[in-house]
Amino acid sequence: MLVDWPLEQLRDYLPTRTEPEDFDAFWAGTLAEARTTQTPARFEPYDAGLATVRVYDVTLPGFAGQPVRGWFLVPRHATGPLPCVVEYLGYGRGRGLPHEWLNWSAAGYAHLVMDTRGQGSAGSMVGDTADPDPAGGPQTPGFMTRGIADPQTYYYRRVFTDAVRAVDAARSHPLVDPDRVVVAGVSQGGGIAIAVSGLAEGLAGVMPDVPFLCHHRRATEITDAQPYGELVTYLKTHRHRVEQVFATLSYFDGVNLAARADAPALYSVALMDAVCPPSTVFAAFNHHAGAAKEISVWPYNGHEGGAAFQQQVQLRWLRDLLGDAAPAS
């Protein structure tokens, strides 16, 4: 069933943003500190048994220079420079195996898949990146409340920093055109992509698909689904920390980050999605600062969204945005 307002109301939903005065300074300082690490990203050839794609096992310096794993795939005979899609992952998923990521390289793009620190053991795609920054203090099982007492220690400070550094890593590769880098992701990955679009300069585009991590307070009020349910459980227990928690989350809210994003955008939303309710997605989309923005609406879908149909929309949108990928030699 529909889980939120009618579509006509959603299209006009522009909630008042709540953000701290030091929002920009917080992120500028965080990213400047991360970029003091001089360790270059490593791209090591990897035999994935694939005939048409070259695969590299990536290790890039993330938050505090900590190693973050990934895959980098390019069409085997491409000479570059290629447009590149940097992709972030859904909640609980890891980078998996290279043959699970053939869509973008098959279309002629370079493709960097970033592992998500601490995740990748939820019964689907395996991960390879540790999170060596436990903040201490109580947390609800999962990642949403890890270090949530303070924005400096909050888990997504590290994840969003890793994600910006993944764009830096992609731009450093000789096969990538640094002016044609697009960020993308589904669910948590979509929320991360929105964050990067508000934090990284010069992106060619952003494709958040049924994004998570947007408009947290409303999400906790209208859905019982996980992972927003982790926040509800934490606040049910720590009754005295409600405002403290939402003050921390305001630094990481996709609504505030989208308001700083000027890259062309293709969002998607599903109107029967109880995991990432439509009003939370439209809140970010409607605040997205770039004038060139579109949203695909899937009226009879839940959190699976448009799935392969949305991928088809993305392929055509990106071709129109960037032109054909560089031909193979």
Which residues are known catalytic residues? 187, 273, 303
Q: Are 60 and 49 in contact (CB under 8 A)?
A: no
In sequence order, the 6+-apart residues with CB closer than 8 A to the CB of 320 are none
H or E segment to which residue 220 belongs: helix 216-222
Question: Helix, strand, coil proportions of the chain in percent (round to 5)?
Answer: 35, 20, 45
SS3 229: helix
Q: Are 110 and 83 in contact (CB under 8 A)?
A: yes
**Which residue do the tokens 């060596």 mark?**
132
Q: Which of 183, 180, 204 is nearest to 193 (CA)?
A: 183
Residues recorded for the chain:
329
Q: Given its phi and psi angles, is residue 215 left (phi above 0), alpha (psi -120 to 50 degrees) or beta?
A: left
